[in-house]
Amino acid sequence: MRLLLLHCEYFEYAVREQAVKNPEKLDAASKECRFENILVAFCTIEKEDEQNPDDVIEKSAESIAGVADSVRTSRVLVYPYAHLSSSLASRDTAISTLEGLTTRLRERGFEIHRSPFGYYKSFNLRCLGHPLSELSRTIRPEQAKPPAATIKTYYKILALDGKLYDPEEYVFGPGENEFKVLVEKEALKKGLPGGEPRYLEYCRKFGIEWEGFSDQGHMRYSPEGVMIFDLISEYSWDAVLAAGIPIFQVKGTNMFDLSVPAVKEHADLFGSRLYRIESENKSFVMRYAACHQQFAAVRNWTLSYRQLPFGTFEVADSYRLEQSGELLLSFRVRKLHMPDCHIYCRSMDDAKVVTLKLHDRIYEEIRKLGRDYVSVYNITQSFLDSNKDYVMQLVKREGKPALLNFVPEGIYYWVLNIEYHIIDELERPREIATFQIDIGNAKRFGISFVDEKGGKQFPPIIHTAVIGSIERYLFTVLDQCARMEREGVKPSLPLWLSPSQVRLIPVKPEFLDFSMTLAAKLGESLVRTDLDDRDETVDKRVRDAELNWIPYVVVIGKRETTTDQLAIRRRRDGKQYNSSLEDLQKEIAELTKGYPRMPLRLPEMLSKRPGYKQL
């Protein structure tokens, strides 16, 4: 639709004669009219508006309403005007669009008038002449999508002996309680238990919460939360490298042009949970994973079979328009950070070898947190029939049955998509990590390599997030804390993730300088150390350290300044013992081996932290 918007001191028109074969019916009231202080919207409905007239109506109403509000008038005249474009919509589309536009504006509270369609009319006006009195707009419709077809799938349980069972008939054995929860939710569609999860309180402890000034589903982090977030982000890179495959980091934008066929096709496969942006008459999609940017980069690389397999990696800010009723802090969010790795392979056989390594890595990572996965294998029947031995290798590496979800052939770009679930504190399955074997996107995005014979080949691409999104890994860590507390164990973050690893508490001010010297020595070895110099009792400060989940608390008195022994309280097992500074450094170094190390990003002294309070 084309719009010419004039803010007029007055506007008057009179119908002269019929201009089309079947004009609108004309009543006496609309033959001749005059209005004062009115926004006149000259409207030309174009041929392309027929693709999605509802979208055009909504966008046009929003644009006209915005101008009317800006010029401070509540009176609008919708005036059909065929002279702003040479590509005109049909009579019926034009009339229905004008009627819909009138209705939408009236619903917004405006006094709406409309001149009749299909007539030559004379008009007189006096334009007010201020900067907003003459404006034009071009409204482009989104391409209307056909109703989404229901994709029928069915479930089977693949046991360790290679047999397939119907979920309703399977007899769960000892140690399969978590797998049973997964099957009941995913295959048998039983409802999830209710209740507020305990981990939400832990999020508040570290300043991790929803951002109230944004769209729903967006998170914010306090300084301690930022440290946790950045440590997980850095570790996600280490976790991918541990698979032993060359990985290259890339970076880029998070917004992609839907007029690019590959982008649009990939977006259409993703479904309805897309953030879209309109800019300069173009439609963009906010990325929902790192696929777009990594594929856009690799398509321009000259590749040989000798270089494969290799991967590309980015911690990608990604956007998914999740339903508001399903949002859950740090688990189901609308902005997430996906440590996305794509691995490009020479053949399906190579892809299977790589995914066996990834499968082991994914399980190794979750077991480091004291948890285990139960898995859903989204798979085609033909892939299982042709690759039964490979699928059984995956299942046997897990050491437990897997739930197979059979999907139709040719619907998705992947032939195998494994979802790795934990069972959370409230006995609900939660998908954390994933990998997929993709056989469609290399050709779609133009990613190819030269094979041994000089021919052009499109590589199978493995998609994986070894530890899951940054937010879901954090969810897993905090959910494990909730389980610890339920079992009577003090909840605590893994030592490498604790914002402050050691807290020094001088008994008296005279021991402050000695404590600062200790803090400096610990800091030199990248042990994050803070110092509680507040004017509080020792008991109060020790209690606050407990409430803050500080892994090591060291009370500094006269004895500590005259000997090489420190009195240490260790949170994870409640042990109180004496140790030298060097032995404490060695203990922390051993317990954090293989994990990122980061200096303290907070003022060392608690008295210097704005708004510091007991948590």
Same domain assignment for residues 51 and 175: no
Give percent of the chain above pLDDT 70: 97
Residue 201: exposure state from Cβ atoms within 10 A (0-12, 13-18, ≥19): middle
Residue 472 lies in a domain: yes
What mean pLDDT do residues 373-389 have?
95
Same domain assignment for residues 450 and 515: no
Mean confidence (pLDDT) of the chain? 92
pLDDT at 147 over 70: no
113: domain CATH number? 3.50.80.10
Examine the fold and report which residue of 78, 113, 138 is the final residue of a domain before the chain moves on: 138
pLDDT at 276 over 60: yes
Q: How far apart are CA 186 and CA 49, in angstroms?
A: 42
How sure is the predictor about 610, in pLDDT bands with cuts at 50, 70 and 90? confident
What mean pLDDT do residues 73-101 have?
91
The per-residue pLDDT for range 493-507, each reduced to its tens digit, is 999 999 999 999 999
What mean pLDDT do residues 21-41 have?
91
The per-residue pLDDT for range 446-466, each reduced to its tens digit, is 999 999 999 999 999 999 999
Residues 258/267, Cβ–Cβ less than 8 Å: yes
pLDDT at 8 over 80: yes
Domains: count for the chain: 3
What mean pLDDT do residues 548-576 have?
93
261 vs 294 pLDDT, higher one:
294
Residue 281 lies in a domain: no
**Beta-ladder partners of 430:** 422
Q: How far apart are CA 568 and CA 559, in angstroms?
A: 13
Residues 292/266, Cβ–Cβ less than 8 Å: yes
The domain of 420 spans 154-252+300-478
315: domain CATH number? 3.30.930.10
The per-residue pLDDT for range 183-214, each reduced to its tens digit, is 999 999 888 777 889 999 999 999 999 999 99
> What is the DSSP annotation of 517-563?
HHHHHHHHTT--EEE--SSS-HHHHHHHHHHTT-SEEEEE-HHHHHS
How far, in Å, are 154, 405, 407, 410, 506 from residue 151 at the CA level? 10, 12, 8, 12, 65
Same domain assignment for residues 545 and 447: no
Same domain assignment for residues 53 and 87: yes
Examine the fold and report which residue of 425, 445, 478 is the final residue of a domain before the chain moves on: 478
Residue 94: exposure state from Cβ atoms within 10 A (0-12, 13-18, ≥19): buried
What mean pLDDT do residues 357-368 have?
95
Residue 269 lies in a domain: no
pLDDT at 613 over 90: no
Specify the pTM.
0.76
Residue 277 lies in a domain: no
Same domain assignment for residues 460 and 418: yes
When mean pLDDT is compared across 43-52, 311-320, 418-427, 432-441, the lowest value belongs to 43-52
Amino acid 496: pLDDT: 97
Same domain assignment for residues 357 and 393: yes
Examine the fold and report which residue of 76, 108, 138 is the final residue of a domain before the chain moves on: 138
Same domain assignment for residues 400 and 348: yes
Residue 483 lies in a domain: no
Residue 508 lies in a domain: yes
Amino acid 87: pLDDT: 84
Q: In Å, how far from its chain's centre is CA 207?
A: 20
Give percent of the chain above pLDDT 90: 79
pLDDT at 143 over 80: no
How sure is the predictor about 369, in pLDDT bands with cuts at 50, 70 and 90? very high
Q: In what order do the strands lie in the sheet with 552-556?
A: 529-531, 502-506, 552-556, 566-570, 576-579
The per-residue pLDDT for range 393-447, each reduced to its tens digit, is 999 999 999 999 999 988 888 999 999 999 999 999 999 999 999 998 999 899 9
What mean pLDDT do residues 517-545 have?
94
pLDDT at 148 over 60: no
What mean pLDDT do residues 38-44 have?
96
Tokens encoding 436 = 């997929």
How sure is the predictor about 144, in pLDDT bands with cuts at 50, 70 and 90? low
pLDDT at 281 over 80: no
How sure is the predictor about 615, in pLDDT bands with cuts at 50, 70 and 90? very low
Residue 291 lies in a domain: no
326: left (phi over 0), alpha (psi -120 to 50) or beta: alpha
Amino acid 263: pLDDT: 85
Same domain assignment for residues 444 and 507: no
How sure is the predictor about 150, in pLDDT bands with cuts at 50, 70 and 90? low
Q: At what angle do helices 348-368 and 388-398 cross, to 10 degrees?
A: 10
Same domain assignment for residues 468 and 536: no
pLDDT at 24 over 50: yes
pLDDT at 178 over 70: yes
Q: Give the residue carrying structure tokens 């079992």.
A: 487
562: domain CATH number? 3.40.50.800
Tokens encoding 93 = 């589309």
Same domain assignment for residues 472 and 365: yes
When mean pLDDT is compared across 143-152, 248-257, 399-408, the lowest value belongs to 143-152
How sure is the predictor about 151, in pLDDT bands with cuts at 50, 70 and 90? confident
Residue 259 lies in a domain: no
Same domain assignment for residues 208 and 240: yes
Same domain assignment for residues 186 and 321: yes
